[in-house]
Amino acid sequence: MHPPRPSSSSESSWTDTGDIGEQHADDDDDPVRLLLPDELEDELLAGVQKRHHKRVRIRDPEPHRRRPSPLPADVIDKEAIEVPDVSLPRPSRAERCIAAIMSGRSASIHGLTGKALLYFTSIFVSLGVFLFGYDQGVMSGIITGPYFIDYFNHPSKAQVGTMVAILEIGAFIASLVVGRVGDIIGRRRTILYGSCIFFVGGALQTLAVSMAMMMVGRIVAGLGVGMLSTIVPVYQSEISPPHNRGKLACIEFSGNIIGYTTSVWVDYGCGYIESNMSWRIPLLMQCVMGALLGLGSLIIVESPRWLLDNDHDEEGMVVIANLYGGGDIHNPKARDEYREIKMNVLLQRQEGERTYADMFRRYRTRVFIAMSAQGLAQLNGINVISYYAPYVFESAGWVGHDAVLMTGLNGITYFLSTIPPWYLVDRWGRRAILLSGAVAMAISLSLISYFIFLDIRWTPRLVVLFVMIYNAAFGYSWGPVPWLYPPEILPLSIRSKGASLSTATNWAANWLVGEMTPILQEWIKWRLYLVHAFFCVASFIIVYFIYPETCGVRLEDMDSLFGDASTVVGTPSIRAETGSLIRGGSPIGSGRGTLGSTSAIPGLSLGPGSEIDDDNKPPVQPGGGGEDRSVGGWLSRVVHRGRADSTGSGQGRYAPLGQQEEGSRTNN
């Protein structure tokens, strides 16, 4: 029980430096105190005093107690969250040599800040997915080379399929555990360790003297690829502003395709070497790229959201200032972004540690989207082309070096197709790109199957044409977007775990396709491509009815978009005043200039009745007479949500700025 304090008016103004303890209601029966455990209240009211020590998530000691809904409008003032005073360290010589990316005094020592730092970091970490793409393509040319075949005693197609697909086993294992590892040691160190493991795997493959040693090297490399392919998209989403988060993710995926294309052309060039170096040199390149990424991970910034989630507030403020404030730690926009992220961290901390069971129970729709996006991307047939393109072209009539050459030309087309999404994904949105890509891929695969079945004089050229069209359709749609969706729709408390499950689904489907493709090519021949065309059609249906549009939505606003079971969803007024540091595409306009500096930030909305729709009418309550309970009504609601009206199930739209406050005053 807390001692009573003198009462205060709900109209009282709050200063930026005021004590939160003096700013919230003082009555012993205050619903905020009923809601918050004592430990969490102390944490909130102390002005975020914990520094550089392990955080302990706090559970509600009375989880079954009924929670009041909605809370009063004057609970948490975002402006009262203390921004740490950062003691600016003297940069080391190494930091000065690399433009002092991690230094707070970047302006005085010519470090990278703002967009330069953002794009440099995004492009550099794309090496992580470059390695993924390189490993996808490097075996496609090696397995058809005469020296490789002779050295390993003419392996069967089943052995080749196992050797190619076994990398996915290592990647699958790593992707399941790396989410927890990334939460503990940070995103940057996880990238470092992943690149080191990949280096070791590449070395084992390069020095392989038997098929068993080659497979061990593939598994170890898979562990590194699994770590990188999971943590890099998470890292990317956490440093990106909402208005070009999609663009940066697509640039990252282009690194994957550059890796694939590079591996094919390296295979093609080394194919003219008359020795076993024709296959050892392409495998050696894995070590070179792994070493570059490992060294680079020492100079990139850590995720500011991870830093604040682990109470490294000073470091987090420096990174935020470098990314969003031009290196100025006193920049008001950077300080606003710090408060926004820190407030979200504190609110999510109230709910306690998130387990995998909690994820499926409370965020089942988000987890389904994250996992299905990655699984369908592989079942749509891309790895039939990526891993076995020379086999595909040989079945169409191209042989030897010509088959590898066609694979290289296909790789160039593949890469070029990844450039348009840089500019379209944040304009057209995610859904339109996925839907159009699924249609184009289904048609292309069907025609590939048809012309291989006909086996006419034009079959080789037509198959190459439609393989290129298929790869281009995948490269601009189902290539980049499934890597973008999972980290942006998952809340911070489960982002790494959810990304782990999503990437594990990718690798499980990846392994299945890689293992079965050589066998199915012998058994059902041209019908194989019809199987993948079927999955493209299934992808279209699932995206149309289930996937929402997330274009331009802040990571902290995804709870409102999905309207799921989260109990700590910031209200529209919170986000209307604070807004986003980078405003483009956010569903709510900035409140600056409209709300005074002394305006109170409303509290948490724990019930469905706290928002107002576009017509300034109360939202329909669950089970109310205005809601269509039929199947048709359900489909309408799903499709309506998918068309980017930024609403969740049972909730209204965001109210226009100021309407909600007027409504609350009228009710009072």
Residue 465 pLDDT greater than 80, yes or no: yes
Cα 424 to Cα 418: distance, rounded to the nearest angstrom: 11
pLDDT value, residue 521: 79
Secondary structure (3-state) at 595? strand
Percent of all residues in the chain with a pLDDT value above 70, rounded to a whole number: 65
Tokens matching residue 356: 């995998």
Secondary structure (3-state) at 179? helix
Mean pLDDT of the chain: 72
Q: Which domains does the chain have, with CATH numbers?
A: 1-97+303-350 (no CATH), 114-301+368-546 (1.20.1250.20)
Residue 485 pLDDT greater than 80, yes or no: yes
Residue 249 pLDDT greater than 50, yes or no: yes
Helix (H) or strand (E) holding 259: helix 245-270
pLDDT value, residue 494: 83
pLDDT value, residue 85: 63
Instruction: Tokens 């403020």: give the residue.
Output: 317
Residue 595 main-chain phi, psi, to 5 deg? -95, 140
| CB neighbour list of residue 375: distance below 8 Å, 6 or more residues apart | 505, 506, 508, 509
Confidence of residue 141 (pLDDT cuts 50, 70, 90): confident
Burial class (CB in 10 A: 0-12, 13-18, 19+), 90: exposed
Cα 117 to Cα 559: distance, rounded to the nearest angstrom: 29
Q: Tens digits of per-residue pLDDT, 534-569? A: 999 999 999 999 999 888 887 777 878 887 544 344
Tokens matching residue 533: 């065309």
The per-residue b/e assignment along 513-531, b for 16 or more CB within 10 angstroms, e otherwise, is bbbbbbebbeeeebebbbb
pLDDT value, residue 241: 81
DSSP letters of 344-400?
A: HHHHHHTT-PPPHHHHHHHSHHHHHHHHHHHHHHHHTTHHHHHHHHHHHHHHTT--T
| First-to-final CA distance of the chain | 28
Q: Tens digits of per-residue pLDDT, 573-590? A: 333 333 332 233 333 333
**Alpha-helix runs per DSSP H in 10-74:** 20-23, 31-35, 38-45
Tell me the mean pLDDT in the region 429-448: 94
Tokens matching residue 68: 């009041």
pLDDT value, residue 111: 63
Residue 638 pLDDT greater than 70, yes or no: no
Q: Tens digits of per-residue pLDDT, 76-97? A: 556 656 667 665 544 444 444 4
Strand partners, 32: none
Cα 94 to Cα 546: distance, rounded to the nearest angstrom: 49
Q: Check residues 123 and 110 and name the one with the higher pLDDT.
A: 123
CA distances from 295 to 98, 131, 193, 470, 472 (A): 12, 15, 11, 36, 33
